[in-house]
Each structure stands twice: as C-alpha cells, then as structure tokens.
C-alpha cells in the first residue's frame, strides 16, 4: 500500500503519533510519504520505504500570510500523482483535511485518492469550534472517506458538536513503541536529575494554559515539603515564565529543573517516580501513556480521554481539575509506599502493553485503510 501522511511537524501529540505510525507502517512493508512544511521532529533522516516531501512556500508581497493550505493541497496532489498513492492520511483536521479534499478534487477521475482524517483533540474541541472554522471543519471531515478519533471522548464531542453520524467515526487510540518506552533504561539519568537521591516528579507538556502547569508546581511544593523530591519539567511554551514565577513564590525554585524541549523523552521518563498531568482538558493524554509504559505512576485530572488511559487506583489516580490537595495526597501515598508504587508501576506498564502498544494498534489502522479502499 502507498500511503501519504500529513501532520504538524512540531512538538506535540498529533505529530508524534503520525510520525510513529508512518515509521511502523514502513516497517510492515508499506511505502510511506510524509508531506509537510518541515520534517516531522521524530522522523529520522533515512528509513527504508519512508520519504519526505516538503511543501514549497514562496513569499509574495500581496499575501500578508503565505497560503499554506493551498500549497499543501498542491503538494499532496503532486505526490499522489507521481508516487501513485492509494490514500492520504491527514492528522489534525484544519487545514489538513481541507487541503486533502482539494487535492482529491484536483485529481478528478485521474486517481481516486482516498482520504482518512484522524481527529486528535483541539482541532475539534477548540480550533474547529471557533465560528471562523466550524463550517469548514465539518465540511472537510464529512468529505473524508475515513474518519478516526483517538478516544471515545473525542468521538462523542465530534458527533455532538459537528452533527457527524456516529457510525462515521472509528475510534483508534494513540499508541507507543513499548520497546522504546520502558522502565529501567541504561544508562540512567537519575544521578543527574536528583543528585542527592531524591524522588523524581515529572511533567511534560507544551506549557499552554490548558495544561495547568502552575498546578504541577503547587502539587510539587506540597510533596517535597514531606518527601524530598526534585521536579523535572520537559517541554516549552507560553506558560513557562508563570511556572517559574510560581516556583519562586512557593520557595521551591532550587528544586525545579527545566529541561526544555527534549526529543528523547523516554530517557528521562524512565527515571520518574511520579508523573503529574493536572490538565483542564485532554482528548487522550499520550504523555500519560508514555509515562505508564516507562513505569511511572500518573496523577492526573479526571477529564476528557484520560479515564480511557488511566485506571483510577490501579495504574494511577485522577481527581477533579484544580484539586491540588487530593493530587498531592495521592502523590505522597505513592512515593511513600514502595509496595504501592510497584503495584501501580507494574499495572501501568501492563496496561500500555496490552491496549496501546504499536503491535496492537497499528494493525487496526491497516484494517481500516483496507475498509476505506474497498468502499
């Protein structure tokens, strides 16, 4: 099968999953063509049966903003023609599904290019709901030949807010390579992250307001007051200054390490004793899954798709958004009881392997592609 994949190449869940999917499909014998404005951040320079096509953009004085959607449509059209693609799989609805539909129409009867659109979260729950984008988002996803969502929660949101027939949306969860995301990686970075042997609390995000990273610091301050710990923050974004300011206010700045953007997050996650994700909204919670696969128990908000990933009391704990006291109490219980920590760690790892490994999920995409191609 010859498959085109379009995603945002920057740091984020949708781009990470799209890239890993393409690499897994290539390993399984498919020919994969990535089409985007830059090389996806997890795409290695060379892999067999994997190709990258950069969308050509040209500045022109007439345009205040370069028309990326149209340039992407042309690139998808050209790639489909030249490489005889069977389908194009776009991740994140806007503008990718729209551009794919334009490419499909440009091809006309020359090639019946099938479009599969995967909804990842904010393309439906935030961007797509904006009055400027609602109509085009609905039009584009309904014109897709296949439509998937990464969680049951996101499917419900899509059906409700965009009046999409329920049977049109297939739920295929996010996945990870459990051979990469695993506990006990050697060499370990524990001595660097916690030089005095403290417990390691971790948070990874794009530091947008929805991630409530200030709550991470607030929870950590309560934890380290009773259990000597270090807070390791990975990623970057607009809320970073506020987070550091909060750490100063609570007197824990000297116990907080900000690593910034890090491509090999599995290397640091395998050192974590506890992972915090107090988000206001999560359509799936890929980073929680990555933490669980690395053996780190997760304390998170009980929102969105997170209950589909975390089993409360078995592989981690979930509480109401903003319930800092409850999150801190659960974190102290986890880090203060080695047997309880081990139970949660092993259960999280088992859950990641049984439900969300690439071996389990990638074949679901393959079967879905075949269904779409037969229609």
Specify the length of the chain in residues.
375
Whether 153 and 202 map to the same domain: the answer is: no
* Residues 223, 335 contacting (CB under 8 angstroms): yes
Whether 28 and 167 map to the same domain: the answer is: yes
Between 358 and 125, whose confidence is greater? 358
* Residues 142, 119 contacting (CB under 8 angstroms): no
* Residues 228, 198 contacting (CB under 8 angstroms): yes
Query: With bands split at pLDDT 50, 70 and 90, how would you rate the model's confidence at 186?
Result: confident
Whether 169 and 207 map to the same domain: the answer is: no
Give the whole-angstrom CA distance, residue 148 versus residue 49.
24
Whether 323 and 335 map to the same domain: the answer is: yes
pLDDT tens figures, 193-245: 998 989 999 999 999 999 999 999 999 999 999 999 999 999 999 999 999 99
**How far apart are the two ends of the chain, measured CA to CA in Å?**
16
Whether 216 and 166 map to the same domain: the answer is: no
Three-state SS for 267-336 is HHHCCCCEEEECCCCCCCCHHHHHHHHCCCCEEEECCCCHHHCCCECCCEEEECCCCHHHHHHHHHHHHH
Question: What tokens were used for 202?
Answer: 């971790």
What is the predicted pLDDT for the residue at 128? 61
Query: Is 53 within a domain?
Result: yes
Query: With bands split at pLDDT 50, 70 and 90, how would you rate the model's confidence at 127?
Result: low
Query: Is 180 within a domain?
Result: no
Query: Is 68 within a domain?
Result: yes
pLDDT tens figures, 7-44: 988 766 788 899 999 999 999 999 999 999 888 877 87
Whether 135 and 212 map to the same domain: the answer is: no
Give the whole-angstrom CA distance, residue 223 versus residue 228.
8
- Write out the residue range of the structural domain in which residue 331 sits: 190-355
Whether 220 and 302 map to the same domain: the answer is: yes
Residue 60 has pLDDT above 70, yes or no: no
Q: Which residues contact 227 (CB under 8 A, 6 or more apart)?
A: 199, 332, 335, 336
Whether 196 and 243 map to the same domain: the answer is: yes
Residue 266 belongs to a domain with what CATH number? Answer: 3.40.50.2000
Query: With bands split at pLDDT 50, 70 and 90, how would you rate the model's confidence at 66?
Result: confident
Give the whole-angstrom CA distance, residue 144 versus residue 90.
10
Query: Is 184 within a domain?
Result: no
Whether 241 and 331 map to the same domain: the answer is: yes
Between 244 and 187, whose confidence is greater? 244
Overall number of domains in the chain: 2
Query: With bands split at pLDDT 50, 70 and 90, how would you rate the model's confidence at 56?
Result: confident
Whether 326 and 369 map to the same domain: the answer is: no
Query: Is 181 within a domain?
Result: no
Query: Is 281 within a domain?
Result: yes
Query: Is 167 within a domain?
Result: yes
What is the predicted pLDDT for the residue at 363? 97
What's the chain's average pLDDT? 92
Question: What tokens were used for 367?
Answer: 């079967």
Query: With bands split at pLDDT 50, 70 and 90, how would you rate the model's confidence at 67?
Result: confident
Q: How far is CA 277 from CA 105, 215, 356, in A?
A: 42, 9, 19
Whether 334 and 196 map to the same domain: the answer is: yes
Question: What tokens were used for 148?
Answer: 């998937």
* Residues 123, 349 contacting (CB under 8 angstroms): no
Whether 171 and 237 map to the same domain: the answer is: no
What is the predicted pLDDT for the residue at 63? 67
């Amino acid at each position: 099968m010859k498959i085109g994949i379009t995603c945002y190449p920057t740091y984020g869940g949708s781009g990470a999953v799209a890239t890993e999917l393409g690499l897994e499909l290539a390993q399984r014998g498919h020919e994969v063509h990535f089409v985007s404005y830059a090389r996806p951040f997890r795409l290695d320079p060379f892999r067999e049966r994997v190709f990258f096509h950069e969308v050509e953009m040209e500045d022109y004085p007439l345009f205040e903003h370069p028309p990326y959607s149209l340039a992407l449509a042309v690139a998808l059209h050209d790639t489909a023609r030249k490489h005889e693609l069977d389908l194009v799989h776009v991740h994140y609805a806007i503008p990718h599904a729209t551009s794919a539909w334009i490419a499909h129409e440009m091809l006309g009867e020359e090639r019946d290019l099938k479009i599969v659109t995967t909804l990842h979260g904010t393309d439906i729950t935030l961007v797509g709901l904006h009055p400027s984008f609602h109509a085009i988002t609905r039009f584009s996803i309904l014109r897709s030949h296949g439509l998937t969502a990464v969680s049951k929660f996101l499917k419900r949101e899509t059906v409700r807010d965009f009046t999409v027939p329920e049977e049109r949306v297939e739920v295929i969860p996010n996945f990870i390579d459990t051979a990469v995301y695993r506990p006990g990686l050697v060499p370990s970075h524990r001595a660097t992250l916690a030089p005095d042997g403290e417990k390691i609390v971790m948070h990874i995000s794009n530091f947008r307001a929805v991630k409530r990273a200030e709550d991470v610091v607030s929870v950590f301050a309560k934890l380290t007051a009773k259990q000597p710990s270090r807070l390791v923050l990975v990623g970057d974004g607009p809320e970073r200054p506020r987070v550091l300011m909060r750490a100063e206010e609570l007197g824990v700045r000297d116990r907080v390490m900000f690593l910034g953007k890090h491509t090999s997050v599995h290397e640091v996650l395998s050192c974590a004793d506890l992972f915090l994700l107090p988000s206001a909204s999560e359509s799936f919670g890929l980073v929680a899954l990555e933490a669980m696969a690395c053996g780190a128990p997760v304390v998170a908000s009980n929102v969105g798709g997170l209950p589909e990933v975390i089993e409360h009391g078995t592989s981690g704990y979930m509480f109401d958004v903003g319930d800092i006291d409850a999150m801190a109490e659960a974190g102290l219980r986890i880090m203060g009881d080695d047997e309880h920590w081990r139970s949660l760690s092993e259960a999280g790892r088992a859950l990641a392997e049984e439900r969300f490994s690439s071996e389990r999920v990638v074949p679901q995409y393959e079967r879905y592609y075949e269904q779409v191609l037969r229609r």
